[in-house]
Structure 1
Amino acid sequence: MALDPDDPSIAQTIEALVGDLQPVVPLRLWRGMATGLGLTALAIGGVWLTFGLRPDVIALHPAPIVIARGAVLLAGSLALLVAALRAALPGRADQGATALGTLILGILPVGLMGLLLDGIVAGRRPSFAELTLFDTLRCWGIALATSLLVGTGLVLWMRRAAPTDLARAGWLTGWAAAGLGTFAYSLFCPSQTMAFVTTAYPAAMLLMATVIRFVTPRLLRW
């Protein structure tokens, strides 16, 4: 039986449905970036209040190693943050940002290979004395907390979007949050050697990215 479009009941039903509609604020990439950066700043503040920052960071004269590791973490993480946000928006390509972020963060494990190679050539073993159980677990614990803070905010933003590849979105979100969280930790980290940065940091980020990757799809799936 065909429906009569002039039937008053149908018109009333349509009006009722339309009346319940609310305007939706369109998602903007810059808002997602602001969310990620704001949460990173909040994570830094949390680390500062709870553990304190390095004296040279407080004095605004950070040691070269702090500048180097911070620059790598921040640059790589921001590129992956752009990739994660683009992956959540239909019609946005994220391959370029993904490749750039991966290339930058890849400097850390490559740096470990460089240390080992330098030791072989120079006939000496690199010192990993800073890799104590306490220091390593402290690194992982603080970085995990800050990464989860950033990751939670990003996932809440992405829930309003429409990511089609949940696994990819999860990995990108995980690595972006892990890098930004580790950057927040690095401003406290008392380590002075590349050996610690090229071992503990990549391991911490891998752990955090894996955790966030497997949690994110469940939170994004309606």
Structure 2
Amino acid sequence: MSRDPDESSIEQTIEALVGDLRPVVPVRLWRGMILGLGLTALSVGGVWLTFGLRPDVLTMHPAPIVIARGAALLAGGLALLVAALRAALPGRADQGATTLGTMILGILPIGLMGLLLDGIVARQRPNFAEIQPFLGMRCLGVSLAASLLIGGGLAAWMRRAAPTDLARAGWLTGWAVAALGTFAYSLFCPSQTMAFMTAVYPTAMLLAAIVIRFAIPPLLRW
């Protein structure tokens, strides 16, 4: 029986397609976490080399407020980083990590509200004299630069994971890297007042989160 020429052509096409296939390294959540931690450490190093660190941080005896703000930023950022990485993977729930990270970072604006209410009750105006334009702009600029460094590296990992909800992935990544980038700045920040921490830090994170939110989706589209 004669062989159909089309059948031979189909077999050749299939062989050609199979020949082009290459093994792909599976996308693992723990690799994304290691990448995020590594980029955070890199941003801390960049702040250190460019501006230096606080003397009490260098001597490993940071002031209580430095420990408090650093712990909140790092813990909240890592929780939201887990949520962002989970959101990029199919079939992974990220709600628990999202809620935890949001609650931790919510301490900062809640602290500002408490400071304002305390001033109202005491009939005293809270002291915001330390929030000078230069210090505030430096916080915004350094935090944004560190956030972009971390976000850029994570975008490459998330692109391989191919998230389906780009808006959610963008917001989660934005808030995660904003917290981690602001954490890097906090190790240098000379301020030790609640007013600066609860007013300027959330503003810096909001700016970075918005920028990352709209920068990430185009990078994730194939």
Q: Could you say which TM-score interval applies, normalised by the shorter chain?
A: over 0.9
Q: Distance in 2 between matches of 1:174 and 1:31?
A: 19
User: Who is 1:110 aligned against?
Assistant: 110
Q: Distance in 1 between matches of 2:109 and 2:21?
A: 51
User: For 1:183-207, what per-residue CA distance to the aligned partner results, in whole angstroms no more than 9, with x for missing partners?
Assistant: 0000000001010000000001001
Give the structure-1-normalised TM-score: 0.96
User: For 1:12-63, what per-residue CA distance to the aligned partner results, in whole angstroms no more than 9, with x for missing partners?
Assistant: 2211110110011111100000010000000000000000000000000000
Q: Distance in 2 between matches of 1:162 and 1:15?
A: 27
Q: Distance in 2 between matches of 1:69 and 1:83?
A: 21
1:203 maps to amino acid: T
User: For 1:60-102, what per-residue CA distance to the aligned partner results, in whole angstroms no more than 9, with x for missing partners?
Assistant: 0000000000010011111100000000000000111111111
Tell me by how many angstroms 1:8 deviates: 2.4
User: Who is 1:144 aligned against?
Assistant: 144
Which consecutive unaligned segments of at least 5 residues does structure 2 have?
A: none
Identity %: 79
1:60-99 counterparts in 2 under 5 A? 60-99=60-99
1:173 touches 1:212 (CA, 8 Å); kept in 2? yes
2:28 maps to amino acid: R
Tell me by how many angstroms 1:6 deviates: 8.2
1:155-194 counterparts in 2 under 5 A? 155-194=155-194
Q: Distance in 1 between matches of 2:178 and 2:108?
A: 14
Q: Distance in 1 between matches of 2:102 and 2:197?
A: 17
1:154 maps to amino acid: L
Aligned length: 220
Q: Distance in 1 between matches of 2:68 and 2:40?
A: 18
1:194 maps to amino acid: M
Tell me by how many angstroms 1:4 deviates: 5.4
Q: Distance in 2 between matches of 1:72 and 1:46?
A: 21
Which consecutive unaligned segments of at least 5 residues does structure 1 have?
A: none
Moved over 2 A (4+): 3-9
2:216 maps to amino acid: T
1:143 touches 1:181 (CA, 8 Å); kept in 2? yes
Q: Distance in 1 between matches of 2:5 and 2:164?
A: 36
Give the structure-2-normalised TM-score: 0.96
Q: Distance in 2 between matches of 1:52 and 1:213?
A: 29
